Amino acid sequence: MTDYFEVHERDGAARIAELRLADSVTTPAVADDFLADAGSLWTEDREIPEGGDDELTILPHRGFPSGTDEEVMDSFAPEYPDVDYPSAAVVAPETADDYGADAYVLSGAQGFVGHGAGFRDAITETREAIPADSALYLPGVATPANVATLVYAGVDLVDADRAVVAGTQGEYLTTEGRHFLEDLSELPCACPACQKPVSEFTREDCAEHNENALRAELGVVRERIRAGRLRDYIEGQARHDQWLTAAFREFDQQWSYLEERTPLIRDAELSAATEDTLQRVEIKRFADRVTTRYRNRFDNPLVLVPCSATKPYSESQSHGQFHDAIQFRGHTVSMTSPIGVVPQELELTYPAQHYDSVVTGRWSEDEKQFVAEVLRRYLERNDYPRVIAHVPEHGYRDACERVEEELGIDFEYTVEDHPTTTESLGNLMRTLDGELKYGKRERQHNTVKAIADYQFGDGAGDALFDGIQTEARYPKLRVQDRDGEQLAAMVPQYGVLSFTLTGARRWVESEAPTKRVEIDAFAPHGSVLAPGVVDADDDIRVGDEVVIEGPKAFAVGRAEMSGPEMAESTRGIATTVRHVEEK
């Protein structure tokens, strides 16, 4: 059981947490100031230390270099005692397990830090084996340049050893890498150690600067986590070292590890500044759900249009012009990099209204390939009587032509020079002559069902919202059953649905996949803490709508942890509670 470590905020595998010492520590952090090492058992037998609440005590241990045979590790593995003070156990990826400690020190880091795939495997194996609500400490490897990537991978604690040693060797470290003191014409830093001319700057000063730079970078990282934008920072910052770029690309390929830890919804803007953005969990998850869960319910032709800088798209000037030409005679789907395709019903759904991309007027080959692949999968799933492509040249049209050839579908192109020219809009309007308009009721009902499909699973829209009525104006729709009982409401901020108790019961009784949290015998109000969770579905993610049920209550709310973390954790908020009914 973890008694002294509690996670408060999550951004993928990175976390803001509290190490509950006498003087509380916010992680990720440098551990040097509060660490007490009881010593290695390789050199001599050690007594169990008395410990204390003012430090994190590393229990007597045996560390192993990277690559040690697993049988050797098992033979010499120490037994960690159950102590009543903040403690840490030393583990290797192969021996990591729940030893009841508050933190786990990963040995052999020098053997895999610097190697993308090796680093990925070591961190993911260890994090999956140790409790979700425990800290991971990676000693002897942190620098100002790599610490953001270490934290992104799931590391909570580091030390300043490598940075200090580098300073004593005349290496001046920055977030961009290292400089040799003899090569510096000036000191590119304003920390206290650097408040002197470079001619008077000693190696002792350099060591102090390196530690200052490391601590300052951790401050930047913590703020990025709080804002939900660490990945945006990583995509640029890691470019300064090839292994760091390789490392986060390796983690992109570790889908299950990152997907489980990445929230479904959040307020943060997603910055699409590099082609690596195409590999982000949020992007791949949206594309996957649109092409495996979403189903078009309109009988009208498909009208493909370009995205807009303004979000949501419908509030942009260009999409206003498209709407005037289409007039509800076609089903509008936006093409965009890096999202892929966005049906009009999902234009608010995270991250469709939460991203910002670099606009050059041209797409790279990777972007064309990605958008074409998503469009192809979308058209294979959804049948349309006609496909009208009101898109410009270059990236958009290139992607359309690839899909035409692959699927043997003829697209009708309506753009001359630019999508918003009078001639182009006239072409679009005339192409839809004779098509019947769909009405407001159909549009609203289809929007609710489309969001339900995306949010809850394939077929959920029809299973949950057959025979409904809607009230209020889009995007603040309220969903009612035939008797006027409210079932759900649309949340414009994220483009998702939130249930009432009646809606939650309908969800449980339907054939739609349900996300359940089983709790102990109490009635929750405001939130459910992790110790009160008996079990939770493995596929619950942060931001998921969840049904909460126990012997004394039935409730509905939103997940603040993933399902596996809820089931494992002994501290922290598992779910918020929106409505509760006591039994």
The single-letter DSSP state of residue 126 is H
Separation CA 401–CA 399 (nearest Å): 6
AA letter at 219: G
Separation CA 444–CA 479 (nearest Å): 10
Is the four-CA dihedral 171, 174, 176, 182 of positive or negative sign? negative
The answer, yes or no, to whether residue 361 has pLDDT greater than 70, is no
Burial of 191 (0-12, 13-18, 19+ CB in 10 A): middle
Separation CA 170–CA 317 (nearest Å): 57
β-pair type (516-519, 553-559): unpaired
Percentage above 70 pLDDT, the chain: 99
The answer, yes or no, to whether residue 239 has pLDDT greater than 70, is yes
Helix boundaries (H) for 79-115: 109-112
pLDDT in tens, 188-219: 999 999 999 999 999 999 999 999 999 999 99
Q: Binning pLDDT at 50, 70 and 90, where does residue 360 land?
A: low
Token pair 């025979």 is found at 467
Per-residue confidence (pLDDT) for residue 442, from 0 to 100: 96
The answer, yes or no, to whether residue 1 has pLDDT greater than 70, is no
What's the half-sphere exposure (Cβ side, CA atoms, 13 Å) at 312? 17
Percentage above 90 pLDDT, the chain: 85
What average pLDDT score do residues 436-445 get? Answer: 96
- pLDDT: which is higher, 357 or 542: 542
The answer to whether the beta carbons of residues 82 and 64 sit under 8 Å apart is no
Per-residue confidence (pLDDT) for residue 62, from 0 to 100: 86
Per-residue confidence (pLDDT) for residue 267, from 0 to 100: 86
pLDDT in tens, 18-52: 999 999 999 999 999 999 999 888 888 888 988 89
Ramachandran angles phi, psi of 306, nearest 5°: -75, 155
Separation CA 517–CA 310 (nearest Å): 38
The answer, yes or no, to whether residue 358 has pLDDT greater than 80, is no
β-pair type (355-357, 270-272): parallel
Q: What share of the chain is helix, strand, coil (3-state, %, to 5)?
A: 40, 20, 40
Per-residue confidence (pLDDT) for residue 192, from 0 to 100: 96
Per-residue confidence (pLDDT) for residue 451, from 0 to 100: 98
Token pair 């649109």 is found at 290
- pLDDT: which is higher, 361 or 77: 77
pLDDT in tens, 471-530: 999 999 999 999 999 999 999 999 999 999 999 999 999 999 999 999 999 999 899 999
Q: Binning pLDDT at 50, 70 and 90, where does residue 363 land?
A: confident
Among 285, 45, 37, smallest CA distance to 139 is for: 37
